[in-house]
Amino acid sequence: MKLAELGLEAGLPENVFQVLTGSGRIVGETIVQDPRVRKIVFTGSTEIGTQIMAKCAPNVKRVTLELGGKSANVIFADSDLEKAAASAPGAVFDNAGQDCCARSRILIEKKAFDKFMPLLEQSVKAFKCADPNLETTEMGPLITSAHRDKVASYVEESLVAFRGTAPTGAGFWFPPTVLHITDRKHKSLSEEIFGPIVSVVTFEDEADAIGLANDSEFGLSGSIWTNNGAKALRVARGIESGNLSVNSHSSVRYWTPFGGFKKSGLGRELGPDALNAFTEEKNVFINTEI
């Protein structure tokens, strides 16, 4: 409700921006199914997104979906490994991993693995998980106790490479956790955990990196680390993802298109492309031979 108030203060005409409160099962479903509403934009899980698509179908209603992700942080041996390792925790543990763009898979070139992992461990153990009210905090608790239990179910102690620290006591705390995965079919590489867990897996070469990055039903975001510009472009073309960044994790800007491939969604939000989903093209032919 406060957002609507701020909109009026910013100069938006009355009723241009409206806020309705209520549960998704009641308010959300009513809006989705009402034939007077001709466009739906949804951000959330792939499970709910597919249900919304089905409910929009009877009215042939347009829909833009920004859904789940299992983004890959692809790190080549020729990159700045120190910088890649220092930035990796923030790319996945920000917002306690509850972020659809979280780089929850680290793909590291095999010949760089032994050098990279100690650097990553140092960064993870220095990552500050604490009270969100503190200015020094980099990560807070998870949203609910039930979600914490779901996140914890992905942790097999035999796969834990190392962990950071988290407070005890009140709050749904979960420490930043790094898994070393050797089985490429392990669920931690395919399922969206939506928590502070990152899975590390090695790849052999460029082609293997692209194949591994694309071995997912999602395709929302991701990062590529290399000092070879031509390689960066080749890999970026090969990875099936709507938003990629090279030698950084900053792939989302409000002035550029944002959206996913595959089960990460449909359409684009942000940037000039966002308006396309809210417009219809019309052709009018006029016979001037009267």
Q: What are the strands of the beta sheet with 265-266, ordered from one edge?
A: 39-43, 62-66, 265-266
Catalytic residue among 9, 14, 56, 66: 66
E strands in the chain: 39-43, 62-66, 72-75, 105-109, 160-163, 177-180, 197-203, 218-219, 222-225, 245-246, 261-262, 265-266
The encoded tokens of residue 135 equal: 């200015």
- Among candidates 94, 92, 98, 78, which has minimal Cα distance to 120? 92
Q: Mark 179-209 as b/e (b = at least 16 C-beta within 10 Å).
A: bbbeeeebebbeebbbbbbbbbbbbeebeeb
Q: Is 66 a catalytic residue?
A: yes
Catalytic residue among 9, 14, 82, 100: 100
- Among candidates 277, 260, 272, 279, which has minimal Cα distance to 44? 260
Q: Mark 252-278 as b/e (b = at least 16 C-beta within 10 Å).
A: eeeeebbbbbbbbbbbbbbeeebeebe
φ, ψ for residue 116, nearest 5 deg: -70, -40
Please compute Rg for the chain using Cα positions: 22
Helices first, then strands: H and E counts in the chain: 8, 12
Q: Is 100 a catalytic residue?
A: yes
Report, as residue numbers or ranges, the catalytic residues: 66, 100
